[in-house]
Amino acid sequence: MLNELQKEIITLKKDKNAIILAHNYQTGDIQEIADFIGDSLELCIMASKIKEADLVVFCGVDFMAETAAILNPNKRIVLPDKEAECPMAHMLTADELKTYKKRYPDAAVVLYVNTLAEAKAEADILCTSANAVKIVESLDDDRILFGPDMNLSWFVSHQIKDKEIIPAPESGHCYVHKMFNLGDLYFLRDKYPDADILVHPECDPEVQEYADYILSTGGMIKHVAESTKNTFIIGTEVDLVTRLRRENPDKNIIPALQDAICENMKLHTLEKVKNSLINQEFVVKVPLEIAERAKIAIDRMLEIS
């Protein structure tokens, strides 16, 4: 049942010819009024298909809104809260990436979509947690510079044995996924022995090795929906559990860690979404020269995906 503020936002969307895109880590009240909810890959694909809307309210973090702006140069892309930044994306600047490229001149550069536009402009191709293995496998190069998440880099290197995967930087990480540990998973396995344990590839290697499945958030949604099992332990940001419970009311969805909260994602609120629709402030813009170069890497990923 929508509350009055949610109903007001839905009316404003129509008046402003706007759509709301929301990441899976947004709170349930924002998920409920979004036109589309997804993981990074799904949001990239959706952003590439926006046709009619004049205004896009992006309930995610900075790099996601930048990607939407690159793919929609003639539309207004706004963040409800301008401080919604992804710490991981800021761990690899364009200058730092250039240093790595000089150190490994024969390596192809594959960047996680969780990077700022200035770094994307230095990449050969992008990937997400959903398609990272597929993207790297598609390249002829034997040596790959991969950044910025070291745990996703580890995951790819263990799926693809015939390529050298070089993390850039060596310690890039998601602070939320670093919270998960084996102690919590041991406890939950004992408590729910028949459950599937699903974890994100941004989790530490020992957590990945213990899990039953290593999946993107989109992969987790698909797995839970299609599985004949009833109980699932979810190792990613806690509001994916919010979505999974809403879409699978007959299944038992358990967070691996209740405190796995991305504070940056949670900066967006219904009040700020309403403000974005009314005032259209906090517009996300990417300089043309950077946008044009970054788009090449984005398009290459979308073609393969």
Residue-level length of the chain: 305
Task: Please check the confidence at residue 224 and state whether its pLDDT lies above 90.
Answer: yes
- For residue 198, what are the domain limits? 177-255
The CA R_g of the chain, rounded to the nearest whole Å, is: 19
Between the alpha carbon of residue 291 and those of residues 77, 135, 281, the distances in Å are 14, 21, 21
Q: How many domains does the chain have?
A: 3
Residues 52 and 113 in one domain: no
10 Å CB burial of residue 8 (0-12, 13-18, 19+) is: middle
Domain boundary at 173, 208, 225, which?
A: 173
Q: Report DSSP state, residue 256.
A: S
CATH number at residue 108: 3.40.50.10800
Residues 75 and 61 in one domain: yes
Residue 303 lies in a domain: no
Spatial CA neighbour of 107 closest among 97, 92, 95: 97
Q: Rounded to an integer, what distance in angstroms lies between the CA atom of residue 23 and that of residue 33?
A: 12
DSSP states of 204-241: -HHHHHHSSEE--HHHHHHHHHH-S-SEEEEES-HHHH
Sign of CA dihedral 147, 129, 254, 1: positive
Residue 57 lies in a domain: yes
pLDDT digits (tens, 9 = 90+) for 23-36: 999 999 999 999 99
Residues 144 and 188 in one domain: no
Residue 296 lies in a domain: no
Residue 202 banded pLDDT, cuts 50, 70, 90: very high
pTM of the model: 0.94
Query: Of all residues in the chain, what percent are helix, strand and coil, respectively (each to 5)?
Result: 45, 15, 40
Residue type, position 189, single letter: R
Residues 108 and 162 in one domain: yes
pLDDT digits (tens, 9 = 90+) for 103-140: 999 999 999 999 999 999 999 999 999 999 999 999 99
Q: Rounded to an integer, what distance in angstroms lies between the CA atom of residue 93 and that of residue 147?
A: 11
The encoded tokens of residue 287 equal 């300089």
